[in-house]
Amino acid sequence: MSAAHEGTSLPTALRVVRGGRDDGWAGANDREMIEATAAAVALFSAKWKVDLLFLLAAGIRRHGRLNDHLLVSKKVLSEGLKSLERDGLVRRQVFAETPVRVEYSLTPLGRSLTGPLFAIWEWADEHLDAVVAARRDCDLRNGNVTEALEESPRFSAAFQVRSQIAS
């Protein structure tokens, strides 16, 4: 642990972004950081991509089995996998068998993204209730009466049941 972080629980890889300019403007380094971070987040920000990356990291390899886990059309699932393959995060392997067998797996580049995704999950697990509470408080202060939006289910009933049994 670096001397700057002694006595804290911050890993050395994390750093505080300090404003170094007195004129109230962000610098070129800030712009570069924003652009690079936005480009990285765009790799997995489309719907279903995070789901696919986590399932592939968990060892789910076949299109049909991925589809068994998620409430998504085969077309949308295929588009997500193709997009992840195009970005170099997923490898598609076709086996010369009858019937043809296709498996998907994370590339080393895709596997390197699992650490940041896990860090986001840890943050969400720790802080998402506070975000929901802050939204509710803000809406109440501003007179916005918003009913809790029920999200469409993302996972198949079988996957939900198996997940509950396992925990």
Give the DSSP letter of residue 71: -
* Residue entry with tokens 């962000």: 26
Please report the domains of the chain, with CATH numbers, ordered by start residue. Answer: 47-166 (1.10.10.10)
From first to last of the 167 residues of the chain, give the pLDDT tens digit. Answer: 334 434 444 444 545 556 555 667 777 788 889 899 999 999 988 889 999 999 999 999 999 999 999 989 999 999 999 999 999 999 999 999 999 999 999 999 999 999 999 999 999 999 999 999 998 999 888 888 766 555 666 777 777 666 667 66
- Host H or E run for residue 34: helix 28-42
Sequence-distant (≥ 6) Cβ neighbours of residue 46 within 8 angstroms: 80, 83
pTM of whole model > 0.75? no
Distance between CA atoms of residues 79 and 63, nearest Å: 12
Biggest CA–CA distance in the chain, Å, is: 68
Q: Would you state the structure tokens that stand for residue 8, as one six-digit string?
A: 């804290």
